[in-house]
Every structure is written in C-alpha cells, then in structure tokens.
A and B are shown apart, each in its own frame.
Chain A
Amino acid sequence: MVATLLGLKLRLTIGELKRSIARLIIWIILALNALLGLLAILVGLTASSLAVLGNEAAAGGITILVGSILVFAWTVIPLVFFGFDQTMDPARFAQFSLTGRQLAPGLILAGVLGLPGLFTAILCLGSALPWILSPLVALVGICGGVLGFLMTQVCCRIATSALSGFLSTRKARDMMGLIGLVMVLLLSMSSYSISLVSSMLSADTFDANTAWTMIEQLSSILAWTPLGSPWAMVADAGRGEWLMMVAHLGVTAVYLGLGFILYSAILNKSLTTPEVSQSSGLLTKDSIARLAGLQWVKGAMLPVAAIVARSLRYWRRDPRYLGQIISILMLPILFTVMGLGFPYMTGSGAEEQFIGYFSNSMIAFGLGFMALMAGYTISTDVAYDSTAWWIHLTSGVRGWQDRLGRLIAQLLVSTPMLLIATIAVPWIVGNPAVVPKALTAMVCLFLVSLGVSSVFSALVIYPVALPGESPLKMKTGMMGSQMLSQMGCLGVDVVLSLPICLWALFASGWLVWLALVAAFLWGGAATVIGVFWGGKIMDARGPAILGTLMKNDSRIES
C-alpha cells in the first residue's frame, strides 16, 4: 500500500509538471532558488555554530529552535494556504475499502515526493552538517533529521485532516486566505523590522550572552515537545549526554506513534463520513435593488448603479478584493516605517541633510505608490469576474457603463483610505504643512491611474485567482502578463501625472490650492476619457475578452 501511494503521488507530481513547459521552467527556477536558499541556511547554520560561536552546544540550541519552527510551519502553513496540496486528499480514497491504518503510512510518506516535502527532507538531513567533524554525532543527527522530517509530515497531516471539515466551508476558506495574505505581508516587512530593531539595539547595550541564555532555555523546553524532540537528539549527542539522547529518542518515538494512531483514527472517520458542504448565513437585504432604486438613478445609469452595487458587494465579501485593500493599506505603512527608520539604519558620518531628504522622499513615494495602486486595482476587476462576465456581454451593457460602474465603486472604496493616509502620514512624520501638496499629488495620481486602468483592463486580461480561490493563489502566466500590464499602466500614469505633481511640489502659497483644483480637473478628464475610450475598446473586444476569461478558467477544459 505504501509503494502504491508513493507511486501515485510521484505520477501525480510528474503529470502536473508535464502539463505545461512554462510550468516546468518555473518549477525548475523555483527549485533552484529554494535549493540555493537551503544551502545558504545550512551553510549559515554550520558556519555560525562552528566558526563564530565555536561551541557545539550553541549549535544544538539553534538546531532545536530552527527544527521546531520547521515543524510548526508544517502544521500551520498548510491550513492557511488551503489547497496547498490536495492531490492526496483522503476523501478521494473513500470509495475503496481501506482502513485508516493502511492508508496512513503511505499518505504521510507521500509528502516527500512534493516540492516542499523534498526540500524539507534535505533541510532535515542537513541539520547534521554542523557536526560533520564527529561522525558518530553526525550519524545521530541524520537519524534525528529523518525522525524530524516524519514529525513535520505527521503534524501536517493531522492538522489538515482534522480541520478539513472546518476548512470546507467557504467562509472559513475565505478567512484563512486573508490571514495568509496578512502573514505574507507582515513577513515581507519583518526582515526589515528585525534589522531595524537589531540596529537600534546594537546602538545601545546589547548583551549577546543574555540572548544565548534565552535560546538555551527555550530550546531545552522545546526539546521535550513534539516540535523539538527529534532535533534534541543531536544536541545531546554533541554534548556527549548519551543517556539524554536515548530519552529524547524515546519521547520522539512516543510522539510519532501517538501521532500515527491519531492520524489513522482521523482517516478512519473521514473515510466513513463524507464531507457535507455547509452553507453560510443568509443575506438579508437586496442591496443592488436598493442602490438602483435611488430616485435620481434613471435610464442608462440604472445598469451603472447595478454594477456599482455589485462591485461594492464584492469589495466587502470577496477575499480577493479584501486582499487588495489590505495591500493598498500596507504601502504607506511600510514606506513610512522605512522612512522613519532610515536615519537609524545609516551609521554616523553620513550627511544629515541627505538622510532627511532620502527618508522624506521614501515616505512620499509610499503615499504616491498607494494612490497609483488604488487606481490600478480596477485592472483586475474583469479578470476577477471570470466567466461570470458573460452576463455583461449578453445583456447588452455598454462598455462605458461597465467601466464607469467599476470606477465609481473603486472611488467609493479607496477615497476614505487615501484621504486618511494623505492627512495622517504627514502628521505622523511631523510635517502637517505638506498636506495640501500631498493631497494634490494624491488626487492627480489616483484619478489618472483610474482612467488609465479603465483603458488597459479592456485590453489586457491576465490570469488571476478565480472566484472562491485564495487571494494568494498564483497562476501560471500571471507574473509575465500582470507585470507587463502593471508596468505599462504605472508608466503611463506617472508620465501623465508628472506635470501636476511637479507643480504641487514647487508651488507655494495660494498656487498650491490652484494646483489642487488643476489636479481635480486633469484627473477628472483622465477618468472621463478612460471610461469612454476603455468602453469603446470593450464594446469591440467583448467576445475576445470572454474568450480569454474562459481560457483562464480552470473549470473549462476545452
């Protein structure tokens, strides 16, 4: 049974890779990247424990810590990135008369034949590297690595299958996708924050010994938990505490055994009780009818009002849209933190004026980028509709109505965020006098970006996460065409906005306010032209757009 399942998984992986050459190339690039990253981690670990620290006890502490993080990551990440690996979903074996105990070993081991599993396995075995000079300890390290790898897989399997019922509801999946997105954004910031914090600390008194005691204490606790026990063996062996090593081996074996029994039991349950998809709560009001029922909405504006109402519903309910809001909000936060932290990062000696100038422009860039991206988000709108867009196409909605409805919805969603950021950031930085100038630039950039995106998105439809998928889901071919469209859009935006932005930058007195008026007029003109020009393109390209949407929808095979 183990061999059958492993063979199945191998064939699935190969089949997945064979499906397209582009995917294979991406896979290879990813693999090389990951391999290099792993190598760096391993070499870094070895070097830091051997050369810098010079004692193997420290290496043991680090190994336990890193190993524990690895096990923890395997337990948590697959939950957040649902659909992370469903090729071996136990529910698919429900039709065969198999018991959980028969399936469990194969399903656990099958993890090694996927990309993440493979690299984890390499990393686990590599954990023996710091002890390469004493073969016996290294051997223990390899055994510990194997057990550690098994632990990652067992924990992953238990977590995903225990929560699979919960994760099968659409609401839960939406939520998990969003949590994942926030995690990724925080992670992308974290390296910077860490270096910032550490450089701030290093300026003052930072006691290396305290840190080491902390690691020692933490790892000695982790060593008795399922997270750390497999990795503790090599640490014990390195210190020559062989009795302790046997104890940790015993604990690990018990944990793995219990895990195996638990997983088998969960499997048995999921094999006999088919998942029932639960429906989420009922919606109460027909908000589309309400918005379109406004007195002043008449004639050709009725479809526009309907599209506005529908878009607003999606901005509120679809995690893909919520993800965009989060990404837009992160931009000024990220750049303001970076800008404020910049003076701390540079050592003494750098010219103070230059540093101040640089940190201010970084903050300004964050704001401008936010305005541009807020406008750019409507480029994804039709792609997010996916093939549901046929309703627009067949109902005879004109292109300008489609464009205008989406634009108004985006205006309603983003304006408060942009306004708050434009006022709050200069205030936080301690330069509230700059608000009018910032406002001018923001108005111009946002409106121009909306107009340009209205044209571009009628021309370029790129693959995005489909309805119901995680906002984090990456699509083959997404990077290329999306980057192209994004670069094109933002390039045109910047060129078109530059005159007003420069005016705002160098103006003073009442001229600043005149620039603000000009920004409204200029940006307004850009949106009007964008709506009608983009609408014209959409009218002409309707069937082609639907064709692209169908090609990008995995539900349609032919």
Chain B
Amino acid sequence: MILAMENTNQQNPNPTPEPRRLALVTRGLTKYFGQTCAVNQLNLDIPQGSMFGFVGPNGAGKTTTLSMVTGMLKPDAGQIWVNDISVWDNLTAVKPRIGVLPDRLRLFDRLSGQELLTYTGLLRGMDKATVAQRSSDLLQALGLKDDAKKTVADYSAGMTKKIGLACALIHVPNLLVLDEPFEAIDPVSSRAIADILHSFVRDGGTVILSSHVMDTVQRLCDHVAIIAHGSLLAHGTVQDVAAGMDLESRFIELVGGVQEHGELTWLRPS
C-alpha cells in the first residue's frame, strides 16, 4: 500500500528510488473523552520526507491525534511509532526527534521572543553557543529580528505563531508536528514559513501540519489525511485523495457536504 502511494507521488522531487522509511506510523489509535470518542482506530502511515496535511472539520480529532503523537496526551488504545520507535514506550528517546507547535496552548509570555527561544533550546539540552547562533538565524528567517526583545505577551497572534514555530525548529527535529501553523499568519510570513518547511522536507525532514484551509494544504502538501468525527476518511497522496477534483470539493463530498438551505430571499442589498 505504501509502495503504491509512492508510485503516484509526482509532487515530491525526492529522487530516492527505494521505498522510503516511514516517519510516523499509528495503528488502532483511540482516545475517549468521557463517553465521546475523539479519535477512533486511527491508522496512519506517513513517509519520511513528506509534507503531510492533516485536515478535518472543527472538532474532528486533529489536535487530539497530534497531542498523542507528541507525547502530550496518553492514548487509550493503539500504538504510535516515530522512526520505528514506539512513542509511549520510549518517550525520552522520541522527544528529541519531534518538534512541536501546539494550537491554543500558552507560551511563557513574560519572556522576550529571544529569551523564549533560548529557553526552549536550553531545555532541549543544547549548549548556549549553539542556541545563540540558531536563535539569531531563526529570528532573522521568520522576520522577528526587530521584535526579538519584546515580551511575547505583547506579540500579535501571527508573531506568536512564528516564535512558536522557531521554538519547534531550534533543536533540528526529524519530525515537525504543527497544529494550525498558518492560522493568523499574514501572506508574507506565510510564504517565509512555507519556504522553511519545504527546505526542511527537502533535507529529509517530515512535516505534519493540521489545517482546515484546503487551499493551503493542496498548495503545500504532498500527502494528506482527511479525518471527521475521529475516523479516517481518506489517506494518501494529495492527487489520490483529491481524485480529480480540487481538494476542497472532495473534502466537502467526503465529510458530508453542504445541506440544502432555504434561500435567503430577503438578502438583496439595494
């Protein structure tokens, strides 16, 4: 199944001829919150070096899945492997390989952007000189240089996303797990981030990003999974999943589509 997926993958310029290793595998991944099933028997195969889009309507279980992958939420059932290491059996071995950008969680926002970045690097066990070098490069690349010494609490939503992304990158992970990385990001920063991610993938890294903007996913990703109500609806290369349509139409078709609404006859601006 993986091999078949590789054959149809035209977008990725990676020339390796042999089947690529898998960066992330989940089997039977399940999570309940009380009675509600947030993630139901999820089986994912994400090849190394792919840009993987994880899409679904609000409350589909995207964040829950990503939290379980990154060691932030314990699954009720199922297994997760990152680079063939079982995540929940070897948390200390896996964590250095993953870079995380959660959605909606806070940052230590009384620190300046630069300090937050330094802090994250040092927590990762990096030495001070490396941290200083990389954080300066990252701040430059993400256009945060001028605001490096401002407290994160005074950052805009987009700047907060960007400093979070920098924190996820500083220890050079193999796998980047980004929850809604393009939310509240302006087009210029968005392009900068996309460039960073592309070069990260080109060099063999793997990106999983969740989004509910289909355009972004279609433009950026080579692989995609569609999830709704905690279950996987489609999974594969973007072409395979889109099946000749554009991704948004296919998504709406799979997820349940637009119901027939009564026409708003009075909505006629004069």
Contacts and interface: CB of A to CB of B under 8 A. Distances in A.
A binds B: yes
B110 A467 contact: yes
A14 B221 CA distance: 47
A310 B72 contact: no
A313 to B, nearest CB: 6
Given A318-B110, A388-B108, A556-B104, A306 B74 contact: no
B95 A394 contact: yes
A390 B100 contact: yes
A313 B104 contact: no
Interface residues of B, number: 43
B195 to A, nearest CB: 25
B104 A555 contact: yes
A396 B92 contact: yes
B112 A393 contact: no
Interface string A258-286: 00000000000000000001011011101
Interface stretch (A51-59, A287-295, A425-433, A488-496): A287-295
A480 interface: no
A313 B238 CA distance: 47
- B111, B122, B151 pick with most chain A CB within 10 angstroms: B122
B167 A282 contact: no
B97 to A, nearest CB: 10
A90 interface: no
Contacts of B184: none
Interface residues of A, number: 51
Main secondary structure of the interface of A (DSSP, over half): helix
Interface string B113-152: 0110011101111111001100000000000000001110
B122 A305 contact: yes
A226 B8 CA distance: 80
B72 A543 contact: yes
Nearest to A287: B115
A246 interface: no
B111 A313 contact: yes
A314 interface: yes
Contact of B123 (A280, A303, A553): A303
Contacts of B128: 289, 292-293, 302
B73 A543 contact: yes
Contacts of A468: 109, 153
7 closest Cβ pairs, A-B complex:
A396-B95, A306-B122, A279-B154, A388-B106, A387-B105, A395-B123, A283-B112
15 contacts: A280-B151, A288-B119, A288-B122, A302-B126, A303-B123, A306-B119, A313-B110, A317-B110, A388-B108, A391-B107, A391-B167, A394-B70, A395-B120, A543-B73, A546-B72
